Structure 1
C-alpha cells in the first residue's frame, strides 16, 4: 500500500499598507509580519506606493499594486471602490485566500472598506499627541 503524504499548505496572512516609508505603523506591520511568520504563517505585505525606508525581511513576501493611476478617477469613494475591485482580483490571483487580512492606516482602510474579501481587520494607528494637539510648548504655556 502506497501512501503519499501531502505537505500541508501554510495559512496565509496579508498585511496591507500604503507604503513602507518610515514611521511607527510601518515598523509595527513588519514586526507583526515576522511574528506571524514565526508562528508558521506565510506572510504577505501589500503596498500601494513603491516607497521603502526599511530593510526588507526575507521571511515576508512583498507585493506592490500602484494606486497612482487610479488618482485620475474623480470622486474619492468611486476611486477607492474601483481600486478595491483591482486589489481583490490581485489578491485572489497572486496571493490566494488569506486567513486574515490586516489593513493599516487610512488609505488602505478606505480602499479595503469596499473589498469583498472575508476576514479583514482594520488597525487604527495614531499618535495621540498629534490627535489631541499636544505640543511641548503648549504644555508649558498652560502651567
Structure 2
C-alpha cells in the first residue's frame, strides 16, 4: 500500500462518525506502541554501554567530579533517546523501501512510510 493510499483511507475514515473514533483509538495505540518501542531501543542501547561501578573506581570523588559525571550521564541518556528515535522513525519511514540501508543516509525516504506512518502523521502533534 502506498503512503498516499494509506492517507486517503485514513482521511475517508475520519469523515465517518463511527470510524473516526476507531481511527483515533488506533492512532493512540500506535503512538503508545512507538513510544514504548523507542524506550525499549533506548534501554537496549544503554545495556550495551559498559559502566564501571562507583565502588570499583580507584580515585577520590569530589562534588565537582560527581556533578560532572551526572551531567555526562544525562547527556548520554539524551543521546540514547535521540538514537532510539532515529532508529525507530527511520525504520517506519522506510518500511516500504527495499533499498534502505540504515548506515547510508542517501537511501532514506523521509517523506514516506506505510499505513502506520500515515496514521501517525495525521495526529495533531505531528501536524502542529
**TM-score normalized by structure 1?**
0.28
Higher relative contact order (Cα pairs below 8 Å, separated by 6+ residues): 2
Judging by fraction of residues, say which structure has more helix.
Answer: 2
Specify the structure having the higher radius of gyration (Cα): 2
Judging by fraction of residues, say which structure has more strand.
Answer: 1
